[in-house]
Structure 1
Amino acid sequence: MDKFKIILWDFDGVIMDSMPVRDKGFEIVLQNYPQDQVSLLMEYHRNNGGLSRYNKFRYFFEEIRKESVTDSEIKVLAEEFSVVMLENLLNSKLLINDSLNFIKENYLKYKMHIVSGSDGNELRYICEKLGLSKYFSSIHGSPTPKNKLVEDLMTENNYNNDETCLIGDSFNDLEAAEVNKIVFFGYNNEKLKGLRKNFIHSFKNYSI
């Protein structure tokens, strides 16, 4: 395991237990739409944790409501969603101590980056306010898809695939790792245990 020099981290569900807050965000922003349609989106949202809100809002209109939606309309919804997030996520109690302690103890040993489906500007603001920014070489998020975020990081930094791993809690994270030919470690999602992939039950006494 000592071969790894670079760790790419997902954020939601890995560093912060933010999914209940993000659930609430979709419900608030879409409160004027039929509940059965919102429920279908929530199911899609929970099954695709690594996808951005931009993808999810587009899915809501095009796949669930069967109607067209413009980029500007999605941007407005995303901005409303961001307001809810910033009101609720600036809370250190939501941080997952198991992974955060590992990050604090090892950030000088590895190059660490965040690659998230959350909005990039919002995520950088949250990390700065919660004192997390200093642990990461860079913090990246949507609207750029996670597959592309990882690809760009690997290319721009000339990282060796064999020395890089991605830690995430969703199948979208797994896909981003596999597409970019780097090792994936599942965390905090029981569904990932059955894939015969690397799975981290706890970071306590865990050495990557």
Structure 2
Amino acid sequence: MTPVSLSQYDCIFFDFDGVIADSVDAKITAFGELYDEFGPEVRRAVEDYQRAVPGETRFDKIPRFHREHLGIALSEAEIAQWCDKLSSIVLDEVVNSALLPDVPEVLAMLERQNIQAHIVSGTPHDELQIIVDRKGLAPFFRTARGAPEKKASIVRDIMATEGLTASQCLFVGDAMTDFNCAQQCDMAFLGRSEPFGNPFPTGTCVVQRLGEYFLSDNWNGAAGSANQNRAA
């Protein structure tokens, strides 16, 4: 579902990595370091998957990597241990990552217009709280929720709690997991993509900078930029 005028929305759901923070590369490197002891081929395969599927939670990725590349089936306790190990590698890197262009201005504008903003991330929930707090972002978001709860479940719960309908909400993400969440919740979706790689289906509205939509006086102008991004 294509976004319409911002004035139609009372609530914006944001993914975090690659939408709010420029932290996608930090996550790729961290996953590589996590599996470095198993050799360069495994590390490269893990990094390639993380690059291709950034939105999938580590609670799903780590058992997948162990199963497919190491032939090891992890127990729930072992998955938790490996997730904690990844957190110890990546937390400071994400905290120290820059906000993406236009993000401070967009968040300030949403606050002025009393439009709710929520983070819905594949990052573990407790880790996400630390990141949001240490980056000074907590005042701008009504909630920040993460894994292992699935994104669609989080979104539906927030809509029910806040008394919102899907038509009042917009989801902004950089991965197909975000696009799929918006579809599952029957709400509009705005993609954010780098110039060199748009992961979304043809016809998806995509911008490189959030300001192309949120800070534009003319929605048609933002849509035009999105069309150019799709063709790039």
Q: Name the SS of the counterpart of 1:197 in structure 2.
A: coil
Q: TM-score, normalised by structure 2?
A: 0.82
* Deviation by residue 1:86-142 (Cα, 9 ceiling, x = unmatched): 232222x52113223211222242111000111111111111111100000000111
Q: Name the SS of the counterpart of 1:191 in structure 2.
A: coil
Q: 1:152 to 1:63 in 2, by over 3 A?
A: farther
Structure 1 residue aligned with 2:106, among 90, 102, 106?
102
Distance, in Å, in 2 between the alignment partners of 1:180 and 1:134 is 26
Q: Name the SS of the counterpart of 2:8 in structure 1.
A: coil
How far off its partner does 1:194 sit? 5.5
1:206 has 2:216 as partner = yes
Distance, in Å, in 2 between the alignment partners of 1:87 and 1:153 is 28
- For structure 2, the 5+ residue unaligned runs are 220-232
* Deviation by residue 1:157-200 (Cα, 9 ceiling, x = unmatched): 22111010100001110000001111110012431466211222
Q: Which residue of 1 aligns with 2:28?
A: 23
The share of aligned pairs that are identical, in percent, is 23
Structure 1 residue aligned with 2:178, among 173, 178, 185?
173
How large is the RMSD of aligned CA atoms in angstroms?
1.8
Contact 2:29 2:47 in 1 (8 A): no
Q: Name the SS of the counterpart of 1:58 in structure 2.
A: helix
Q: Which residue of 2 aligns with 1:158?
A: 163
1:115-154 matches, cutoff 5 A: 115-154=120-159
Structure 1 residue aligned with 2:204, among 197, 200, 208?
197
Q: 4+ runs of 1 displaced by more than 3 Å?
A: none
Q: Which residue of 1 aligns with 2:225?
A: none
Contact 1:186 1:192 in 2 (8 A): no
Q: 1:63 to 1:156 in 2, by over 3 A?
A: farther
Q: Name the SS of the counterpart of 1:89 in structure 2.
A: helix
Q: TM-score, normalised by structure 1?
A: 0.91
Structure 2 residue aligned with 1:47, among 49, 52, 56?
52
Greater Cα shift, 196-205 or 133-142:
196-205
Q: Which residue of 1 aligns with 2:14?
A: 9
Distance, in Å, in 1 between the alignment partners of 2:72 and 2:85 is 21
Distance, in Å, in 2 between the alignment partners of 1:100 and 1:71 is 38
Q: 1:193 to 1:77 in 2, by over 3 A?
A: closer
Distance, in Å, in 1 between the alignment partners of 2:104 and 2:125 is 20
Contact 1:51 1:145 in 2 (8 A): no
Q: Name the SS of the counterpart of 1:140 in structure 2.
A: strand
Q: Name the SS of the counterpart of 1:112 in structure 2.
A: strand
- Higher RCO, 1 or 2 (CA under 8 Å, sep at least 6)? 1
Distance, in Å, in 1 between the alignment partners of 2:216 and 2:25 is 27
Distance, in Å, in 2 between the alignment partners of 1:51 and 1:206 is 31
Structure 1 residue aligned with 2:88, among 83, 87, 95?
83
- For structure 1, the 5+ residue unaligned runs are none
Which residue identity is paired with 2:208? H
